Structure formats: structure tokens, C-alpha cells
């Protein structure tokens, strides 16, 4: 597919600087842009690449002012990064979707399958399962008995949706994601061993959720583990049993949420954040990378880092002190020696 700068500008409601008739058929990063592709400039530290890039069109923020002449046609928009996301979504929607059910897939006679569904080879759809309209399920995926997958949802290769679990509309589950595996429930016994506690709940994933590759969401012991609408989970995230992640929260890779905790709306968990069990996090909280959260955070819009989690301004001051500890220790030793010498006198 080819698009002209004029077509792209009209779709994004942007302003053109340069040739409105130049056409592109692909995308590229600005630092290695190629002719016939579109790129974008959002982060100012990449600004110098715009003067050497071979990309034919570059999306830029409206406040960008070139210091010298640029070769590509520029399209000014409010946010280049957001405009790129819109454009990629537009192009993706225009691509023809796969359709049809492979004869190599197994579908239970009691399963309900919607219209215009794509089911790849080696997919298993269990008894009583429901697959909505326009769903796409890639190879080697598993849909357990009585599970439900809402319309327009995409399950990539090797996704597992265990029995009784519910996936909403317009969701994307990337390769290897597991929804509804048993929660980590074991009861200690007098002899020191552990007895497994059956996990009889399920997982409910609401609409417009995206789940990264190899992320796992455990079923509840009783009731439901719930991922609310608009949540985005990165690759390699662990959500334990009976957790609730409220709407529009984002969680980055290698983070984990322990059992029965609640994460508020519009929160941000950076990479390797750990949330302890049975606690509550208020709305719009932000946790920096590798933060450990052992207690509830009740103040909305808190920004925290470190272990145990403290307000980020305290963490930064403490980090400066930590770096100076060897020198501070030397000074203390010298003061101790001087004190001891003075005491002997």
C-alpha cells in the first residue's frame, strides 16, 4: 500500500512542509530511514538525525523548528509519537484479515464459533467454549472448556486460555501467554509438607486489554482474578490469584503482583516492580524500576521507588548519600581516631 503525504496529513489533521505528493509504502526509524518510508521525530535527542535521514516523510511535533534545511517532507502534528500510533493502527486495519477454520484444528461439537473467525492448525477449542465474531486464534493455542473469547480478539501462537476463563472484546494476547493457570495455593501441614489448595475460581479479562508474550495470570482460589478494561501488560509479567488490576493501568516486563492485591486505575509499574500480597494501590500511582512495595499505598498519584518503596524525591536523596557512604565511613573512622587520641591525653 502506498500513501501520499497529503493523504497522511489529512488523516492526522497535520500541516505539510515540503512536497505533498511524495509517497511512502513503509516505515523506518529516523536514524536509518530509507527512501519511500515514513519516520517520526518525537524525542529531541534524536533531532540531529533528521538532517541526514533518507526517509521520505517525517512526522514532527508542531513546536519542532529545524536549524537548517531538511530533505524529507515534514508533517507537523500535536504529538508525533501519538500520530505514529494512529497511522500504524490505520495501516493495520487496512490489511486483509485471515479467515476460516483449519481442518487440523480440534473444535468440540459443543463449542460455539462466531462468524468470520480464523482458527489456525493445531488449535484446541474445548467443550462449551465460546468464540466471538472476528476472533483470530493462531497455531497451537488452547481454549479450555466453557472459556469465552470476545469478538475482535487476537490470540497469537501458543496462547492458553484455561477452563471457565473469560476474555473480552478487542483484546490481544501475545505468544505464550497463559490465562487461568492455578494460583500458588498450598497449606502447610504438621509434618512440614504442603497440601495443594484447589483453585476453583477463574480469570476475567475485560475489553481492550493487551497481554505480552509469556505473561501468566493465575485463576482465583475462589471468585475471579480480574484485569479491567484498557490494561496493558508487558512480556513476562506475573499476576497472582485473586488480584484485581483496574482500568488503564500499565505494567512493564518482569513485574509481579502477589495474591489478593488490588492495583488502582491508570497506575504505571516499571520493569521488575514487585507488589506484595493483600495490599491496595491507589489510582494513578507510579513505581520506578525494581521498586518493592510491601505495604498499601493509599495516596493517589504517589510516585515511588526503591525497597521498601519511598517517595521518589526521598529515594533520590538517599541514593546520593548511598554513593557517598565509603567517604563518610572514612571520615567517621578518622574522627573516631582523633577522639580516641584526645581522650588518651
261: left (phi over 0), alpha (psi -120 to 50) or beta: beta
pLDDT bucket at 286, cuts 50 / 70 / 90:
very high
The fraction of the chain above a pLDDT of 70, given in percent, is 100
pLDDT digits (tens, 9 = 90+) for 87-134: 998 888 888 888 999 999 999 999 999 999 999 999 999 999 999 999
Compute CA 126 distance to the chain's CA centroid, rounded to the nearest angstrom. 28
159: left (phi over 0), alpha (psi -120 to 50) or beta: beta
What is the secondary structure of 135-180 as a DSSP string?
A: -EE-TT-EE-TT-EE-TT-EE-TT-EE-TT-EE-TT-EE-TT-EEE
Dihedrals phi, psi of 137, to nearest 5 degrees: -125, 115
pLDDT digits (tens, 9 = 90+) for 225-265: 999 999 999 999 999 999 999 999 999 999 999 999 999 99
pLDDT digits (tens, 9 = 90+) for 199-210: 999 999 999 999
pTM of the model: 0.86
Domain ranges of the chain: 3-94, 100-314, 318-344
Instruction: Based on the residue annotation, tell me whether 48 is a catalytic residue of this protein.
Output: no
Residue 66 is placed in which grid cell? 529545524
Contact 145, 159 (CB under 8 A): no
pLDDT digits (tens, 9 = 90+) for 298-344: 999 999 999 999 999 999 999 989 888 999 999 999 999 999 888 88
Alpha-carbon distance values, 88 to 37, 92, 95, 136, 166 (Å): 13, 6, 11, 19, 28
Whole-angstrom distance, CA of residue 195 vs CA of residue 205: 29
The fraction of the chain above a pLDDT of 90, given in percent, is 90
pLDDT digits (tens, 9 = 90+) for 156-173: 999 999 999 999 999 999
Name the architecture of domain 3-94. 3-Layer(aba) Sandwich (3.40)
Whole-angstrom distance, CA of residue 17 vs CA of residue 186: 64
In CATH terms, the superfamily for domain 100-314 is Hexapeptide repeat proteins (2.160.10.10)
Q: Number of H helices and number of E strands within the chain?
A: 4, 40
Contact 11, 26 (CB under 8 A): no
Q: Which of 156, 174, 241, 278 is catalytic?
A: 241
Scanning the chain, the segments in alpha helix (DSSP H) are 5-12, 80-94, 312-323, 325-344
pLDDT bucket at 56, cuts 50 / 70 / 90:
very high
Exposure string of 53-67, with b = 16+ CB inside 10 Å and e = fewer, is bebbbbbbbeebeee
pLDDT digits (tens, 9 = 90+) for 335-345: 999 998 888 87
3-state SS assignment for residue 89:
helix
Average pLDDT, the chain: 95
β-pair partners for 58: 39, 74
Whole-angstrom distance, CA of residue 24 vs CA of residue 34: 10
β-pair partners for 249: none
Alpha-carbon distance values, 153 to 5, 36, 106, 210, 269 (Å): 32, 32, 19, 10, 25
Which among 315, 262, 261, 263 has a CA at the least distance from the CA of 288?
315
320: left (phi over 0), alpha (psi -120 to 50) or beta: alpha
- Span between the terminal Cα atoms of the chain, in Å: 90
* Mean pLDDT within 13-20: 95
Amino acid at each position: 500500500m502506498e500513501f501520499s503525504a497529503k493523504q497522511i496529513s489529512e488523516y492526522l489533521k497535520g500541516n505539510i512542509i515540503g512536497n505533498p505528493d511524495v509517497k511512502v509504502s513503509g516505515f523506518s526509524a529516523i536514524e536509518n530511514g530509507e527512501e519511500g518510508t515514513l519516520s517520526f521525530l518525537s524525542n529531541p535527542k534524536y533531532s540531529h538525525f533528521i538532517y541526514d535521514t533518507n526517509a521520505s516523510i517525517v512526522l514532527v511535533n508542531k513546536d519542532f523548528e529545524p536549524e537548517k534545511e531538511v530533505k524529507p517532507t515534514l508533517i507537523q502534528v500535536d504529538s508525533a509519537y501519538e500520530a505514529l500510533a494512529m497511522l500504524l493502527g490505520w495501516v493495520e486495519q487496512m490489511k486483509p484479515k485471515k479467515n476460516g477454520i483449519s481442518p487440523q484444528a480440534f473444535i468440540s461439537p459443543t463449542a460455539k464459533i462466531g462468524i468470520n473467525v480464523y482458527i489456525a492448525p493445531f488449535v484446541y477449542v474445548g467443550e462449551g467454549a465460546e468464540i466471538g465474531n472476528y476472533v483470530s486464534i493462531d497455531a497451537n493455542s488452547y481454549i479450555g472448556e466453557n472459556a469465552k473469547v470476545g469478538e475482535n480478539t487476537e490470540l497469537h501462537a501458543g496462547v492458553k486460555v484455561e477452563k471457565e476463563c473469560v476474555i473480552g472484546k478487542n483484546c490481544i494476547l501475545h505468544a505464550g501467554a497463559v490465562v487461568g493457570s492455578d494460583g500458588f495455593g498450598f497449606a502447610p501441614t504438621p509434618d512440614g509438607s504442603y497440601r495443594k489448595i484447589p483453585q476453583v475460581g477463574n480469570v476475567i479479562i475485560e475489553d481492550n486489554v493487551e497481554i505480552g508474550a509469556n505473561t501468566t495470570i493465575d485463576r482465583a482460589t475462589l471468585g475471579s482474578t480480574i484485569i479491567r478494561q484498557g490494561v496493558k501488560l508487558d512480556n513476562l509479567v506475573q499476576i497472582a490469584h485473586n488480584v484485581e488490576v483496574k482500568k488503564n493501568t500499565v505494567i512493564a516486563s518482569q513485574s509481579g503482583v502477589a495474591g489478593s492485591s488490588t492495583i488502582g486505575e491508570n497506575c504505571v509499574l516499571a520493569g521488575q516492580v514487585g507488589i506484595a500480597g493483600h495490599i491496595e494501590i491507589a489510582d494513578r500511582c507510579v513505581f520506578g524500576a525494581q521498586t518493592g512495595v510491601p505495604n498499601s499505598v493509599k495516596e493517589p498519584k504517589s510516585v515511588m521507588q526503591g525497597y521498601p518503596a519511598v517517595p521518589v524525591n526521598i529515594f533520590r536523596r538517599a541514593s546520593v548519600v548511598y554513593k557517598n557512604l565509603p567517604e563518610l565511613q572514612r571520615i567517621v573512622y578518622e574522627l573516631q581516631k582523633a577522639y580516641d587520641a584526645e581522650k588518651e591525653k
